[in-house]
Structure 1
Amino acid sequence: MQISYNWLKQFLKIDIPAEDAAETLTNLGLEVEGITAYESVKGGLKGVVVGHVISCEKHPNADKLKVTKVDLGDGNPVQIVCGAPNVDAGQKVPVATIGTVLYTSEGEEFTIKKGKIRGEESFGMICAEDELGIGTSHDGIMVLDADLKAGTPVAEIFDIYNDTVFEIGLTPNRADAMSHWGVARDLRAGLMQQNPQSSPTEIITPSVSKFKVEKRTLKYDIQVEDAKLTPRYCGLTISGVEVKESPNWLKNKLKAIGITPKNNVVDATNYVLHELGQPLHAFDAAKIKGTKIYVKTAEENTPFVMLDGTEVKLTANDIVIADESKPLCIAGVIGGQNSGVSETTTDIFLESAYFNSISIRKTAKRLGVSTDASFRFERGIDPTITDYALKYAAILICEISGGEITSDLTEIYPKKVEDFSIFLNFDNVHKILGINIPHEAIKKILVSLDIKVNSITNQGLGLTIPAYRVDVQREIDVIEEILRVYGYNNIEIPSKINATVAHTKRTEDYKVQNIVADQLVSQGFYEIMANSLTAPQYNDLVATINKNETVQILNPLSSELSIMRQTLLFGGLESIAYNINRKNSDLKYFEFGNVYAKTLTGYEEYKRLALFATGNKYTANWTTPAQSVSFFDFKGIIEAIFQRLGILKYNTQTVEDEIFNESMAFVLGDREIVRFGTVKKSILKHFDIKQEVFYAEFNWKNILNVVSSKIKFTEITKYPVVKRDLSLLIDENVSFNDIYNTVKMVDKSTITDVSLFDVYQGDKLPKNKKSYAISVKLQDAEKTLTDNQIEKIMSKIQTALEKEYQANLR
């Protein structure tokens, strides 16, 4: 939001540097993100002076050029070559001296330099209107008043408007500060806190004492159908207006804050909007059918052409301003193309209203329209100034358009919006802020914010909050107001740090999460945080995602963020695609996040942990060749998490899942703890990912249910490990998981590990057969194993494999 410093000074009698005012506003929470200078003529005509043309002769080498001698007021006339047909001796003219920067109509700058034109030296430029930026004429040079003194800066002759503009990053809760009046209120409070003796205590508001109904010749009856949607509505008519260009002072005020002037009537409504924060709208009375104005909701699917020419379909939830036959305006959002003010307008109906903020927001978001009016109505304007702003605007329009007020101000206000009361407890102020602010200082801060103090006791203050402070509804909000005016920077940093030690179980959610996160980071993973909102078309990629459980957003920011995610997969793939497109293809991510579902009993959310791995395990160098992450690498990372959490007794299952080409799950009892595998190429193709991606999704609730809080320590045995390898010929449908479980069951106490180190399938083997090479580790914690014991166990393993899977040793 752009705020003019000159405009602020209409409300406050202050003369402090703009930078100091900006710092005060920032400390108050109205962060000034930038300060820019505004000049009605770009460059401010710096370096342009009045010149007296002493002589004017024809250029010896060019028919259309003239060589002039010009007095610039310093006693040293200079020679200037000029091509204007109207230049002549004796004239007073604007001269851009050497080094002056001028700007083209497109805003491009050029510097006046000493030069030669057809052999004659030239020491400046005699300027036309458009070259100075104060007009559009280029028929010839400007001829100034003959009484002007040579050397006078031209900026002193013309009305050059200079201003300083603050770019304020307004937070959505500060609806009261959406105008120059609102910002001035805050600035006054801040300055009073900084210097109570010399700071302004009053806000100078525009007077409406000149408001007068000249005649009553044009009147509209107003009918408001729903007072909840339109609590307050005011209107009046102005006749005999001449729609034309606005005066310079008004155009400069609007241009300074980035508003393009249109005509005097529209500019006046925009001026009042940005000055007081009250949106207004002017209708061409000639385009209103009948003598009645209806404020109502539209009929379903009513066509409406907006000011920008776009046609939309209105719904039964949209508030409109209508005449007897058609909608004239979408209330609080945008006017209609067929009812607005034009050059032929002579009579207008002017409205000022207070609409329901939720209704306006829904309409604006549904239509994808954002205007200065909707921006304010959505957040909540001041309901007490509706009539005041209308009178002020009517006076202004009459002054600049020649019109006169031709109806009484009609107001529909069935139930007054009241201020509300809060009791502020002094002890709570101290408890929350941690400092003792004197009671009298608290009172002065609140008064400076236009918060009325109704009663004072030893315990606290009885307060009345203005209705326009929609962000101050509770005692804690009042305390926040006290703090921001008192000054966050005035809170001393304590010399002593107090801390409490909380006794929590090792299996608390955040502790388990930190343990897992630390381990993953140590393995080269990076934590990501994807958006919980996602695109509905992603769900079409996986047939098993139940679309009936999708949580829809009622008021989405865009179609790409219109539902809540049901899996963490797609956010991670978006991040992977983004990095691969930037030549970063070796990636390992993890994310803790929630997924969401709509169930028969309501809305549910479930916590998940997602792992992603793609690309190479290590960065290739002269000692280590590139090696891609494999399924077993990824499985080992998951198993390491289980081992770190003390989850040791789990089973492995092969599962079918629409997300994966190949997938497995680790289960404990009837609880699935994690499902992982290689993401299907059809899904990767949608994200334009051409390399293999491994994905795992942990059910975090099940993790917390099975993680053990008991830590068991065992002494490292001093007896050696024995390793034996077996090469097996088995049916191709036998999985390693089957082999693993069978071997482990032979002797659980002695067989410590079974691993697969080679797989072969080819034409050298019988049909439907494959070869597994497995390694078995044996160890006894009490003694060294003898050869006979080892051979006995290996024989049992061989027998078990032959019996279960008809395996043959190769």
Structure 2
Amino acid sequence: MLVSWDWLKQYLDLNISEAEVCDRLTLAGLNFDGSSTVDNDRCLDLEVTSNRPDWLGHVGIAREVGVLFDLDLNVPTADINGVANGGACPKIVQIEDEDFCPRYIARSIAGVTIGDSPAWMVNRLRTIGIPTINNVVDATNYVLMEIGQPLHAFDMSKLNGDMIRVRKAEHDEKFLAIDHREYQLNTGDYVIADKSGAIALAGVMGGKDTEVNELTTDLLIEAAQFAALPVRTTSRRLKLKSDSSYRFERGVDPEMIDWASRRCCELIVETAGGEVCEGRVYAGSKPGGRETVTLRFSQIPRILGIDVPETEIQRILERLGNEVTQQTEKQITVIPPSWRRDLDREVDLVEEVARIHGYDKIPEHAGVSLSASHQSDLDRVRNKIRMGMLGMGFDETLTRSMVSDVWSKAFQGWSLAEPLTSSMPMVKGEDRLRVSLIPSLLGARRNNEKFSYTDIDLYEIAKVYLPKAKALPDERYMVGITSGHSFFELKGVVEALVGVLNPNVAINTIPFTDPLFAEGQGAHLTVDGTTLGYLGVVCDKARKAFGLQQPATVAELDLGALMKLAVLVPQHQDFSTHPAMNRDLNLIVDEDISWSKLQEISYSAGGELVEIVTFQEIFRDPKKDGPGKKRVLFTITLQAYDRTLTGEEADATIAQILAACGKETGAKLLA
């Protein structure tokens, strides 16, 4: 925000040095970025935060300076009674969507003479870098920079019909702006329209067809409030930014819209002549009242660590524009001003007291009470995952949430619905909210391969966005993993990762088919019937599509499912001091019998004596075993916690396991 020092002095008796003012403003949160001399004036460059749109006008800056130095603020009355002719505005205003435009004020001025603006106005606008055009346009810009309320002046003779409409743009509607460029609109944009079509892009820019020129004699002055998000969306999509859109995106003061309209008319009549039609047109609703906020005096020393006198607290809050409704020995209740939408909690008032009283008055050793904080369960699980992945040699990566259409459809294990699309992608072609982390990780793998980092193992913890019909997407945290190792090696990584969270959980592997995975090398991972995630080897076609030279294996786990099974309280478990016994089993089974099925049966049938069941290999010999058969070799480790197992006990346990495998799968022990 560029501020004219001469302009600032119109509202304050400012017998204070520029340096002192800038220092106090910086300490209060309005950073001073530098200054320069423009003719006989000084231009101050102040950094305005997005939560303080009231600082986007000279009156707002003057109000802040007045509070800091206890100076009275002198704001013009914007009185047009002396220049009104008693007539009515000849237009009707219709608002089709009050959520977008809560209020719209129109005033008309007849008999103006277009010419140059007076020197005082030209000098102030020039100081802050705004070029002068003519006395009418300059007046609208002056009020914009005075109070932060955008306005627009239409040439009344160029308006078609007796109605002004605030409506959505029609599909593929064309709009010629005052920058002499034509824009193609869509139904998400809003326009100001007359009978012939759009005459302004609401909240962004006026139209060429109704602009004021040297032949203009009658004016229609627009002052309105527009919703921030649609204005921002239109401005960014069309790459059309203006001082007006900048302010509407941050919010304007609803109580000052009429003042801005009157002030603009007052300045136009003063500089261009003419008469104001006394009857204004007001469309929309009146601004609603603000809720009260109560500040307990005891909160000041508790949060700031210092005592501030109650009289000083009251003075600061009132100077800031708060209306005191009640005050007792223990607290003060106020109604925040209309220009401070950021004040709605007690702690907001505490912050205001700290800002104005002075952060520099809070000593380093202030006795602020501290309370122990704790991590959320989500953070604790993520930290355990990070430590586990780091221990297994994986590097964490960060990728963009927006991907291309091709990538969004590369893996759809979580959802087959069409992904959500952004109309303003940050990267050209990447306009889909991802439904999986896997494509992004494969892209990161490709980038590493380009720099000859072929032996790279990556993981990412981030959100995916699963579409839901007529609702916000299902945002889920996922753990994506990619490796250059085999299916079973990555499966071991997944099992080890789950073991870090809960060593007593067994993962069930179900065959899963997806175009991304090689045939027979994809798996759906579950725990107690609940989906945990997916695992698979990337097929040759997919590797080529992603530009990968080396084999790749991927997995994706639902962090929500991991949180449900995680044991976050440290657990102690006794271990056996007695020796373990290993028995190798080589079973002949049908081709469709999975290893996970045999593992599950072994644990169940063996009971407490089975410590671990470890896969070794699969071998196929159709000549010896017959077609459709395979041999599965695995090791069963047996151990008791209270004694040394005897050979008879081990043989009996293995016999139970073999019997169960034979009964449930038809497995036969290879002699």
Name the TM-score, length of structure 1 as normaliser.
0.66
Q: Does 1:25 align with 2:12?
A: no
Deviation at 1:478, TM superposition (A): 3.5
Deviation at 1:539, TM superposition (A): 3.8
Q: Does 1:182 align with 2:96?
A: no
Equivalent residue, structure 1, for 2:537: 678
Take 1:738 and 1:773, find their aligned partners in 2: how far apart are those partners?
14
Take 2:168 and 2:612, find their aligned partners in 1: how far apart are those partners?
74
CA contact (8 A) 1:419 1:465 kept: no
Q: State which of 45, 49, 74 in structure 2 corresponds to 1:170.
A: 49
Structure with greater contact order relative to length (CA < 8 Å, sep ≥ 6): 2
Deviation at 1:656, TM superposition (A): 0.9
Question: What is the DSSP-based 3-state SS (H/G/I as helix, E as strand, rest coil) of the residue aligned with 1:376?
Answer: helix
Which whole-Å deviations, capped at 9, do the CAs of 1:383-425 have from their partners, x for residues lacking one? 444454345445555666xx32234354224765466462534
Take 1:464 and 1:742, find their aligned partners in 2: how far apart are those partners?
70
Take 1:407 and 1:788, find their aligned partners in 2: how far apart are those partners?
109
Q: Does 1:660 align with 2:532?
A: no
Deviation at 1:471, TM superposition (A): 2.9
Alignment of 1:127-166 (within 5 A): 160=39, 163-166=42-45
Q: Does 1:426 align with 2:296?
A: yes
User: Unmatched 5+ residue regions in structure 1?
Assistant: 41-159, 193-200, 615-627
CA contact (8 A) 2:304 2:366 kept: no
> Which amino acid in 2 is paired with 1:404?
G
Aligned-residue identity in percent: 24
CA contact (8 A) 2:321 2:337 kept: yes
Equivalent residue, structure 2, for 1:237: 109
Q: State which of 405, 412, 424 in structure 1 corresponds to 2:274.
A: 405
Alignment of 1:38-57 (within 5 A): 38=36
Of 268-277 and 542-551, more deviation after overlay is shown by 542-551
Q: State which of 450, 463, 471 in structure 1 corresponds to 2:321.
A: 450
Change (3 A) 1:179 1:798: same
Question: What is the DSSP-based 3-state SS (H/G/I as helix, E as strand, rest coil) of the residue aligned with 1:266?
Answer: helix
Take 1:473 and 1:555, find their aligned partners in 2: how far apart are those partners?
32
> Which amino acid in 1 is paired with 2:522?
S
Question: What is the DSSP-based 3-state SS (H/G/I as helix, E as strand, rest coil) of the residue aligned with 1:458?
Answer: coil
> Which amino acid in 1 is paired with 2:517?
F
CA contact (8 A) 2:590 2:630 kept: yes
Deviation at 1:174, TM superposition (A): 1.8
CA contact (8 A) 2:235 2:245 kept: no
Take 1:501 and 1:275, find their aligned partners in 2: how far apart are those partners?
45
Question: What is the DSSP-based 3-state SS (H/G/I as helix, E as strand, rest coil) of the residue aligned with 1:187?
Answer: helix
Deviation at 1:333, TM superposition (A): 2.6
How large is the RMSD of aligned CA atoms in angstroms? 4.9
Deviation at 1:338, TM superposition (A): 0.8
Which whole-Å deviations, capped at 9, do the CAs of 1:445-481 have from their partners, x for residues lacking one? 0122122335543343353433333333455544443
Take 1:450 and 1:768, find their aligned partners in 2: how far apart are those partners?
84
Of 227-236 and 653-662, more deviation after overlay is shown by 227-236
Take 1:264 and 1:230, find their aligned partners in 2: how far apart are those partners?
29
Which whole-Å deviations, capped at 9, do the CAs of 1:356-407 have from their partners, x for residues lacking one? 436863773696444222332343323444454345445555666xx32234
Aligned length: 654
Take 2:196 and 2:218, find their aligned partners in 1: how far apart are those partners?
18
CA contact (8 A) 2:506 2:527 kept: yes
Take 1:264 and 1:715, find their aligned partners in 2: how far apart are those partners?
89
Structure number with greater Rg is 1
Alignment of 1:67-86 (within 5 A): none
CA contact (8 A) 1:278 1:352 kept: no
Deviation at 1:353, TM superposition (A): 1.3
Which whole-Å deviations, capped at 9, do the CAs of 1:771-804 have from their partners, x for residues lacking one? 8776665656667778999899999999999995
Name the TM-score, length of structure 2 as normaliser.
0.78
Deviation at 1:337, TM superposition (A): 1.6
Take 1:783 and 1:703, find their aligned partners in 2: how far apart are those partners?
35
CA contact (8 A) 2:204 2:245 kept: yes
Deviation at 1:636, TM superposition (A): 2.1
Question: What is the DSSP-based 3-state SS (H/G/I as helix, E as strand, rest coil) of the residue aligned with 1:170?
Answer: coil
Change (3 A) 1:742 1:397: closer
> Which amino acid in 2 is paired with 1:422?
T
Take 2:291 and 2:633, find their aligned partners in 1: how far apart are those partners?
81
Take 1:746 and 1:213, find their aligned partners in 2: how far apart are those partners?
98
Deviation at 1:531, TM superposition (A): 6.2
Deviation at 1:176, TM superposition (A): 1.6
CA contact (8 A) 2:269 2:275 kept: no
Q: Does 1:523 align with 2:392?
A: yes
Deviation at 1:754, TM superposition (A): 4.9
Question: What is the DSSP-based 3-state SS (H/G/I as helix, E as strand, rest coil) of the residue aligned with 2:107?
Answer: strand
CA contact (8 A) 1:364 1:374 kept: no
Q: State which of 553, 558, 563 in structure 2 corresponds to 1:694.
A: 553
Equivalent residue, structure 1, for 2:192: 320
Equivalent residue, structure 2, for 1:307: 178
Change (3 A) 1:690 1:438: farther
> Which amino acid in 2 is paired with 1:166?
D
Question: What is the DSSP-based 3-state SS (H/G/I as helix, E as strand, rest coil) of the residue aligned with 1:332?
Answer: coil
CA contact (8 A) 1:31 1:170 kept: no
Of 661-670 and 428-437, more deviation after overlay is shown by 428-437
Equivalent residue, structure 1, for 2:311: 440
Take 2:509 and 2:610, find their aligned partners in 1: how far apart are those partners?
21
> Which amino acid in 2 is paired with 1:347?
T
Equivalent residue, structure 2, for 1:270: 141
Take 2:8 and 2:273, find their aligned partners in 1: how far apart are those partners?
29
Equivalent residue, structure 2, for 1:541: 410
Equivalent residue, structure 2, for 1:340: 211
Q: Does 1:294 align with 2:170?
A: no
Take 2:639 and 2:288, find their aligned partners in 1: how far apart are those partners?
83
Of 583-592 and 445-454, more deviation after overlay is shown by 583-592
> Which amino acid in 1 is paired with 2:30?
L
Change (3 A) 1:647 1:792: closer
